[in-house]
Amino acid sequence: MKELVVISGKGGTGKTSLVAAFAALAGKVVLCDADVDAADLHLVTHPRVVETHDFVSGHEASIDLERCTRCGLCRQWCRFGAIDEAFRVEPLLCEGCGVCAHMCPERAVDFFEKTCGVWHVSETPYGPMVHARLGIAEENSGKLVALVRREARRLAESRRIDLLLTDGPPGVGCPVIASIGNADAVLAVAEPTVSGRHDMERVLALAAHFRVPAAVCVNKSDLHPDEAHRIAEEARKQGAAFLGFIPFDPVVTRSQVDGRSLVDYGETPVVRAIQEIWEGLRALVVGNAEGVLKPSEGKPKAWETAQA
């Protein structure tokens, strides 16, 4: 079983639309939505939810004001400023470290496990899908990402499906790190803008840091062809396989509004470009026996130079 994770660094470059199109082209896959704090893949894959589970992770403190003597030790030791003058815990600031509970001489701090989201196993026309929803303004997104990926892997193995397609989150922080660890390859979807190139470079540096082989494509490439070519060049320079350009076409938005896969709209230039990229990915990820796609060698590119 191989896992391909689609990431981008910059948000809104078209990760989810591409994942949905790849799913339609692939035939049988397991899908995983690892963008747990703004999950969108379910909007275009029509999942029928068959299992729902609570995501219980971490703790939160709550002070019993009946028992509290206002001695102030908890406020003194809380490094997150989460306890106000009235000895109420602000849940949005509490990191669940338990220092207040430990320090309280009256044992007035209730330190309880938190439910910070739900996760689902669903059936889609393309195969099973594991997706989740992190609670609003919650923490532990990295742990939820790790959980959905683990469940998706298990599903792929038990159903003998040889490809896991994961829709990753934007950025390079905690949830992205949790999304790409031990993946067989990442595809970074860039857009031809100065910010798109900057963010692609950082996300490739991240893939190199964790020694995950990377490939790159540029979406909406004709909005700024020069920048698109610079991205292709830079990607190759950073040791990534460059797989192609996807032109800008309003049909991508239309397919999202209609809730249908892009491939339903016939042989448009966009679909042809995506098909080509998909073939390239297949060759790299599935047929990796020849070792076409190698993990980046050498020292990870330093973040200072990656942003120059």
- Binding test (CB under 8 A) with another protein, winner from 186, 205, 235, 263: 205
Nearer to another protein (CB atom), residue 79 or residue 160: 79
Nearer to another protein (CB atom), residue 130 or residue 252: 252
- CA-nearest of 170, 162, 160 to 16 is 170
Of the ranges 64-72, 133-141, 266-274, 286-294, which one interacts with another protein (CB under 8 A)? 133-141
Cα-based distances in Å from 301 to 123, 202, 209, 306: 40, 9, 7, 7
Nearer to another protein (CB atom), residue 75 or residue 198: 198
Phi, psi of 58 (to 5 degrees): 75, 180
- Binding test (CB under 8 A) with another protein, winner from 27, 72, 98, 125: 98
| Residue 108 and residue 74 in contact, taking contact as beta carbons nearer than 8 Å | no
Determine, following the binding rule CB under 8 A, whether residue 86 of this chain makes contact with another protein: no
Q: Helices 15-26 and 269-285, interaxial angle, to 10°?
A: 70
- CA-nearest of 18, 2, 43 to 190 is 18
Determine, following the binding rule CB under 8 A, whether residue 286 of this chain makes contact with another protein: no
| Residue 169 and residue 176 in contact, taking contact as beta carbons nearer than 8 Å | yes
As a whole number of angstroms, the longest Cα–Cα distance in the chain is 72
Nearer to another protein (CB atom), residue 32 or residue 74: 74
Determine, following the binding rule CB under 8 A, whether residue 265 of this chain makes contact with another protein: no
# residues near another protein by CB under 8 A:
70
- Binding test (CB under 8 A) with another protein, winner from 7, 10, 166, 263: 10
- Binding test (CB under 8 A) with another protein, winner from 172, 188, 235, 241: 172
Of the ranges 119-127, 266-274, 283-291, 297-305, which one interacts with another protein (CB under 8 A)? 297-305
| Residue 123 and residue 23 in contact, taking contact as beta carbons nearer than 8 Å | no
Nearer to another protein (CB atom), residue 1 or residue 43: 43
Cα gap 142→250, rounded to integer Å: 34
Of the ranges 24-32, 158-166, 278-286, 295-303, which one interacts with another protein (CB under 8 A)? 295-303
Angle at 134 between CA 133 and CA 138, to 5 degrees: 165
Determine, following the binding rule CB under 8 A, whether residue 52 of this chain makes contact with another protein: no
Determine, following the binding rule CB under 8 A, whether residue 166 of this chain makes contact with another protein: no
Which residues 107-126 are close enough to bind another protein by CB under 8 A?
none
- Binding test (CB under 8 A) with another protein, winner from 6, 13, 152, 213: 13
Determine, following the binding rule CB under 8 A, whether residue 97 of this chain makes contact with another protein: yes
Determine, following the binding rule CB under 8 A, whether residue 269 of this chain makes contact with another protein: no
- Binding test (CB under 8 A) with another protein, winner from 103, 118, 146, 283: 103
Give residues in contact with another protein (CB under 8 A).
Answer: 8-13, 16, 37-38, 40, 43-44, 58-59, 77, 79-80, 92-93, 95-99, 102-103, 134, 136-139, 141-142, 169-178, 191-196, 198-199, 202, 205-206, 209-210, 223-224, 227, 250, 253, 256-257, 259, 300-303, 306-307
